Chain A
Amino acid sequence: MSDHHHPTGIKRWLFTTNHKDIGTLYLWFSFIMLLIGGSMAMVIRAELFEPGMQVVEPNFFNMMTTMHGLIMVFGAIMPAFVGFANWLVPMMVGAPDMALPRMNNWSFWILPFAGTMLLMPMFMGGDFLQGQGPAFGWTFYEPLSGQYNKLGFFIFAVHLLGFSSIMGSINIIATILNMRAPGMTLMKMPLFVWTWLITAFLLIAVMPVLAGAVTMMLTDKYFGTSFFDAAGGGDPVLFQHVFWFFGHPEVYIMILPAFGIVSQIIPTFARKPLFGYASMVYATAAIAFLSFIVWAHHMFTVGMPVAGELYFMYATVMIAVPTAVKVFNWAATMWKGSMTFETPMLWAIAFVFLFTIGGFTGLMLGVAPADFQYHDTYFVVAHFHYVLVTGALFALIGGVYYWLPKWTGNMYSEKLGKLHFWLSTISVNVLFFPQHFIGLEGMPRRIPDYNPMFADWNMISSIGGFVFGASQLIFLYTVIKCIRGGEKATDQVWEGAEGLEWTIPSPAPYHTFETAPEVK
């Protein structure tokens, strides 16, 4: 717009304090990270295509599993949700921008540096193919991680990522608490806003604990302390406790905003208001609370007293209750609705179905005596990929298709969107479903070679993996095509769409709601 002169070119993006620009930056950053982390997954699947060592060195394989996990969690999924929050929260609550726009700029621009620092050791010193990067698993358990000679890069990358997340969260909380339009009471807020408010609280509570854990690793390694080092009276198991005190809320940080996105999409295409709005809000809060008191279910096999195993088992299984409230509410929203199946709705339905599978395997893993069989096998890998890929990632992709017309002003190609959906959904099941079987049979995770008895399912899984990876390029193409042009989108975009973001023009102007809308 000519009447608002903001810098153009690279300076626009470097100095921007506009929530839409920053949202776009977050989304592109996370998409690039998705492709990097995805390529690493392709290397993993290529090595596991057949038993024996074919493609890479063992240490390089370990580096791939480690970096794939770290990049996807901290680089792809988390920033993508923050990108959605930046774009949508102000538009959904009727605010002109985020509450603290300059901090917003900072919290994004820390990310590329953190990402670079995380990736850098892979290319430093020695032979790249020998694997110079972190190779101790994304959970970086002590004492193994303490032996790594470039640990400092990893630790400071985590510190920076933590700063970025905490600042982003503070911004989101301030925006939601202070910047709502008159009449937008808390219980009128779209569910996406609610889930992000709760997620932001979780982030502020646990990212500092992670920062504390890596700081202890740092001083153990370089300054002679012994928090986790048995040689000085420390305890490596303690590391697992501290890590999972962060780690379990973290998995909900990665799924609650996905619940929010799906809760926006389903009512639109079922043409019915969300069933049980209030119970959705309370269920989200209940899940967030429970996430703090179940962490040791990740470590049933470290040698805990039976009382501890029982407590963590019951607390864990309890999470199924609020989660089931959500799943039933989504199903009830669709019940007797006038449903149509545009691309976003397809992703949302696949989310409900496939996320629930991941939730059920989570219940199985939460049962302590059974966990001794599943622990550290491909069953665990299958479980968390069902909740993170067909859960978090599917919701994100569905959300992109849903709001893309609002962001760009153009409709995406429904044909390409559906092709992307069907290819992804079929291949992702070919990829991850067999991992349940080989996991139950005892194939350990994070190992580059395996017993030939697992060969068939691994080959099928790898084929699914390659197709799933390739089909994300259709996504990239569809998004770029939509940005460059296409059928013009109306303001409301979707017939059943409700909410403040659908009352403004498409594409959303650079500045929106400079005078606050009235919400009845």
Chain B
Amino acid sequence: MSTDKDKQNRKVLGVSSFVAIAMFGFGFALIPLYDVFCDAFGINGSFSAIEDGTYNAEAEAQKAMAGGVDRSRTIDMQFLVNDSIGLNLDFKPLTKKLTLNPGEVKEVSYYVKNRSDKTITIQAIPDITPNNAKKYLAKIECFCFQQQTLKPGEEKEMPLRFVVNSAIPETIPVLTMTYRFINSHYKAEQKLNAETRS
């Protein structure tokens, strides 16, 4: 085979390998791109703002209350919890459901008890159904804004104060809020376990 062809082949090999490596990098670049995209289009709520500490609950609530209280209709709210994998918790809403007028500030409480014999630090992850109601719900105070540390056997009542924007479409008569706790020391613990095992 002519060396000319060898050269061409090596060039294709080089360029293609570069593309493959670049696409491997692109796979990782999808992670920040995804966050940028979600923030830009308001998908996934304001989680990243909460994480960064730039979430301003007061301002969000002011925005939600700007339209005033709509006395002409009501919305049913339901409060649920999901089981937390790997955590020995007693976790439940103290109010299971209530009816409110859009634009009105309401407060409910959740109850949590650490049933394990260890001090745990946990983080609540919220979810709202239906999905398109997310942007109409502003939380003024929520136990999901920060981590909770519980000593063995410690119990707590945690407030959730919120307002539903009166701009919420009439096609959403029922709102369901669900919380689930995850162990925020999970990662650290996993590492520790791996170390003690080896």
Contact = CB atoms under 8 A, between A and B. Distances in A.
A152 interface: no
B16 interface: yes
A227 B20 contact: no
Interface stretch (A26-34, A172-180, A332-340, A395-403): A172-180
A204 B16 contact: yes
B37 to A, nearest CB: 9
B9 A305 contact: no
B20 A305 contact: no
A306 B132 contact: yes
Interface in B28-53: 28, 30-31, 34, 41-44, 51
A231 B183 contact: yes
A224 interface: yes
Contacts of A103: 13
B23 A205 contact: yes
Interface in A226-280: 226-227, 229-233, 235, 238, 241-242, 245
The contact size tier of chain B is: 35 or more
A174 B27 contact: no
A226 B187 contact: yes
Nearest to B7: A178
A206 interface: yes
Given A204-B16, A209-B23, A238-B34, A178 B9 contact: yes
Given A178-B9, A241-B30, A245-B30, A208 B24 contact: yes
Contacts of B171: none
A230 B24 contact: no
Contacts of B9: 99-100, 174, 178
Contacts of B125: 230
B12 A204 contact: no
Interface stretch (A39-47, A211-219, A377-385): A211-219
Given A208-B21, A208-B24, A305-B43, A227 B31 contact: yes
29 contacts: A99-B12, A103-B13, A169-B16, A170-B12, A170-B20, A178-B5, A204-B19, A206-B23, A207-B20, A208-B20, A208-B23, A208-B24, A208-B26, A209-B26, A209-B27, A213-B27, A216-B28, A224-B188, A224-B190, A231-B182, A231-B187, A235-B34, A235-B44, A241-B30, A242-B31, A245-B30, A304-B43, A305-B42, A305-B43
Nearest to A228: B31
Contacts of A393: none
A166 interface: yes
A215 B31 CA distance: 13
A212 B13 CA distance: 21
A178 B191 contact: no
Interface in A439-474: none
